[in-house]
Structure 1
Amino acid sequence: MSVKSFFTARAVPTGAGGAAYRIRTSPPYRKALLSGLATLALVIAALIALPGVSRATTSLPCDIYASGGTPCAAAHSTVRALFASYDGPLYQVTRASDGSSANIGLLSPGGYADAAAQDAFCANTTCRITRIYDQTSHHNDLTPGPSGTSGMGADRGADASEIAVTVGGHKAYGVWISPGVGYRYTGVAAGVAVNGQPEGAYMVASGTHVGSACCFDYGNAESTPADTGNGHMDAVSIATTCYFSPCSGSGPWVEADMENGMFQGDNGSNTANKGNNTPYVTAMLKDNGQTTYAIKGGDATSGGLSTWWSGSLPTRGGYMPMHQEGGIILGTGGDNSNWNMGTFFEGVMVSGYPSDATENAVQANIVSAGYSGETNVPNGAQKPITGPGGQCVDVIGDDTGTDGAAVDLWNCQSYAEDQYWTHNANDSLSTIGRCLDIDGDGTAAGTQVELWDCNGVGGQKWVQHSDGTLYNPQSGRCLDATGNATANGTRLQIADCDGSSGEQFHLG
């Protein structure tokens, strides 16, 4: 089965043995607030940014945090600079065709991503995001994470062209997180809070590409991928996870993953948290590490922030004080629970407890960046293959298919990465980093198809014919739904080409 069936047909590990949940808190004692004039200056600087130009405003989020006395300890984005002076790479992509890599940078210092450079490098093949650079001097870069105690294997990098949006009038690519995708800084990241130190964090993420599994997080995590107990995480999340009921509505909610619990505020449950479901959400968290935390959310394209909680840290045990370890995660839980989905665009972690005035100025800058476009449907070169009965060609395994994974028919789902295929220049069809392959490179009628590493063999060549069939030249046979069936889970095979309804497959 695929992501579409994950939530109804498969139990999701939670609690101490499964998901890692945490949050950031906000200290009761904080550094002196900005003066009224300084705060006004920050807000004005953030608001005057004009979308449609390649150079960003003078003050970007990390400049604003620094002015407020809470400098960025880590800053990650695939769409724009987060310092006005930044002129380095945003992320690295690696080609499937030859394994070579390229850094994707900015159109200008302090500006927006050079998406055209990615398009040129990845033309006629697929690419994965294999590194997201930290824009601070700490070099806390994120790479696909190792396997952890959740029982999941090592993470894979996101498909680099899965989701394209517009920021500041420019095309840019977000990070499409599917089950099995995730990033980590393993170890203690420089400048990141540990052992009850105060910190803050935000991310801009989709409020429409969301799920309830564990864990679409960004922030402070264990230094190794293992659940080491309550209070050892301090990460912001946006998900439909109602971990502590009751919850208001169906979410998604901005939550704090503090390990072994997704906290919506208070001691877990917080019906005052009404959720944020706009295409772009600013999800914000801060924690003084000792007694207090706060959760905020807002539309990243307009308006201000809603404060969903500002008060005591949980009294459940282990959270007062916090025990952060200083690792960094994106798209997973602290123990590498990587079953959830989401779309990430930018995020930072800061040292100290940010003032409300600073956070408001950061939100104003985010709004001024001019995010637009859908965030819940893959829109890159990948297209669904529609088969018999209007079903989609799908990989069994919830977007985590490995070599030998069965290929079947399933209800079409907009979120399912393994239902989006790229028809490559060599006539192969690829998804989640592997190709549609005939088992054993066979040619006999009835041989089933599967997912396998792309290697250019004849059993991976598929030609779309005008009669709707997908033809494999090596075998002289066509892709076929076994028994002309259309039910979920119907295995696909090759069979003599007869133009029957079981051989009707259309790419795109």
Structure 2
Amino acid sequence: MRSSKIWALAVAVAIACVTAPVAAAATSLPCDIYAAGGTPCVAAHSTTRALYAAYNGPLYQVRRGSDSRTASIGVLARGGYADAAAQDAFCAGTSCVITVLYDQSGHGNDLAYQGPGGAGGHDTPAAAARESLTAGGHKVYSLYINPGNSYWRNGSSTGVPKGSAPEGEYMVTSGTHVNHGCCFDYGNSETDRRADGAGAMDAINFSTSCWFGGCTGTGPWVQADLEYGLFPGGSSKWNPNQRAFTDRYVTAMLKNNGTTRFALKGSNAQAGALSTLWDGALPHGYNPMRKQGAIVLGSGGDCCAQNTNLSQGTFYEGAMVSGYPSDATDTAVQASIVAAGYR
């Protein structure tokens, strides 16, 4: 009887040892998870929360219409959610726009709007209070991009992978604010903001754009903008494993080893596991990749120095990492996103 009790206790301890790391991973923040997996964030952006447990800096900058003054909006506590009350107080009685998304990774890859006074170009900053929501029970604001809004940074000398170096990316977006305009992207893009050839980009696209035709349904879909096309899989032909994500909050992921393989994943950002949409060869002509190391958000790579963005979409959080994340890392990041409690 005594030996049975000892055996039962040993089993219980073993189960606890196995399950404890999983539970811990579910409550970790995305860039901590990526670092633990050996693929550290080189850019991390959000208007809703910190993406590192230790982060206690600004998330984004707003500019108000009444006097053009700016203010940085930070977090309520280290590793916590955005201080929406600070934005509300600063913007009371007037309108505000989001001019900068600060990089939490320490690499200085802040994203500025692509227009005069920002990164240069012909776009404008997005309205700061167009969409409010709650995350973790706290009021926060999204980056609500309409045609004519977009953000950019030349990160080629500040850690963003270039050439055929491996890279991973994710973003939380929305399946309810999309269109087919080119191109609601987040990720690696051209430093000259021109279409510089196959493989010059490596960005997540989320839209209803059926670039090559033959699509099933109306989307929106998680695709890869690799320049000269939005790829649903490993070729210009429609990938039958693709599926639409019409949820209010959507997780979109892309990872690319730069030479032979890339993967696309998506999920409801409020619950559930990731669906693998593609995990296989790069399209013909994209091996090796020729990434340039700029970061784009809300537009395609050949925008917006001389033209304006045609796409719309919503951005809540996202990161770019150096290296090819494991599937286990992807799963843990999705668990962190679900735990963030977007509502």
- The answer to whether 1:67 aligns with 2:24 is no
* Matching residue of 1:27: none
2:23 partner letter: I
In the alignment, the residues of structure 2 paired with residue 356 and residue 38 of structure 1 have an alpha-carbon distance, to the nearest angstrom, of 21
| TM-score, scaled relative to structure 2 | 0.90
* Matching residue of 1:272: 241
> For residues 39 and 255 of structure 1, do their structure 2 counterparts lie closer, same or farther at Cα, with a shift above 3 Å needed?
farther
Report the more deviating stretch, 222-231 or 304-313.
222-231
In the alignment, the residues of structure 2 paired with residue 38 and residue 156 of structure 1 have an alpha-carbon distance, to the nearest angstrom, of 52
Q: Which residue, 75, 78, 88 being the options, matches 1:106?
A: 75
* Matching residue of 1:120: 89
Does the CA-based 8 Å contact 2:166-2:256 persist in structure 1?
Answer: yes
Does the CA-based 8 Å contact 1:213-1:339 persist in structure 2?
Answer: yes
In the alignment, the residues of structure 2 paired with residue 229 and residue 221 of structure 1 have an alpha-carbon distance, to the nearest angstrom, of 11
- The answer to whether 1:363 aligns with 2:334 is yes
The secondary structure found in structure 2 opposite 1:297 is strand
5+ unaligned residues in a row in structure 2: which ranges?
1-15
Deviations along 1:55-109, one digit per CA (max 9) or x if unpaired, are xxxx200000000000001000000000000000000000111010000000000
1:343 partner letter: T
Q: Which residue, 175, 186, 189 being the options, matches 1:221?
A: 189
> For residues 217 and 38 of structure 1, do their structure 2 counterparts lie closer, same or farther at Cα, with a shift above 3 Å needed?
farther
1:209 partner letter: H
- The answer to whether 1:349 aligns with 2:317 is no
Q: Which residue, 47, 56, 80 being the options, matches 2:49?
A: 80
The secondary structure found in structure 1 opposite 2:321 is strand
In the alignment, the residues of structure 1 paired with residue 36 and residue 319 of structure 2 have an alpha-carbon distance, to the nearest angstrom, of 15
- The answer to whether 1:334 aligns with 2:301 is yes
After superposition, residues 51-450 of structure 1 pair within 5 angstroms as 59-146=28-115, 154-186=122-154, 188-268=156-236, 269-315=238-284, 317=285, 319-336=286-303, 338-372=309-343
| TM-score, scaled relative to structure 1 | 0.61
2:312 partner letter: M
The secondary structure found in structure 2 opposite 1:130 is strand
Shift of 1:249: 1.2
> For residues 246 and 361 of structure 1, do their structure 2 counterparts lie closer, same or farther at Cα, with a shift above 3 Å needed?
same
Shift of 1:46: 3.8
> For residues 227 and 68 of structure 1, do their structure 2 counterparts lie closer, same or farther at Cα, with a shift above 3 Å needed?
same
2:179 partner letter: G
Largest Rg, 1 or 2: 1
In the alignment, the residues of structure 2 paired with residue 202 and residue 224 of structure 1 have an alpha-carbon distance, to the nearest angstrom, of 24
Q: Which residue, 12, 24, 44 being the options, matches 2:23?
A: 44
5+ unaligned residues in a row in structure 1: which ranges?
1-36, 50-58, 373-508
The secondary structure found in structure 2 opposite 1:200 is strand
Does the CA-based 8 Å contact 1:140-1:189 persist in structure 2?
Answer: no
Does the CA-based 8 Å contact 1:248-1:272 persist in structure 2?
Answer: no
Aligned residue pair count:
320
In the alignment, the residues of structure 1 paired with residue 138 and residue 172 of structure 2 have an alpha-carbon distance, to the nearest angstrom, of 17
In the alignment, the residues of structure 2 paired with residue 42 and residue 233 of structure 1 have an alpha-carbon distance, to the nearest angstrom, of 35
Does the CA-based 8 Å contact 1:246-1:270 persist in structure 2?
Answer: no
Deviations along 1:276-313, one digit per CA (max 9) or x if unpaired, are 11010000000000011000000000011000000000
Q: Which has the higher contact order (CA 8 A, sep 6+)?
A: 2
Alignment root-mean-square deviation, CA: 1.7
Shift of 1:190: 1.4
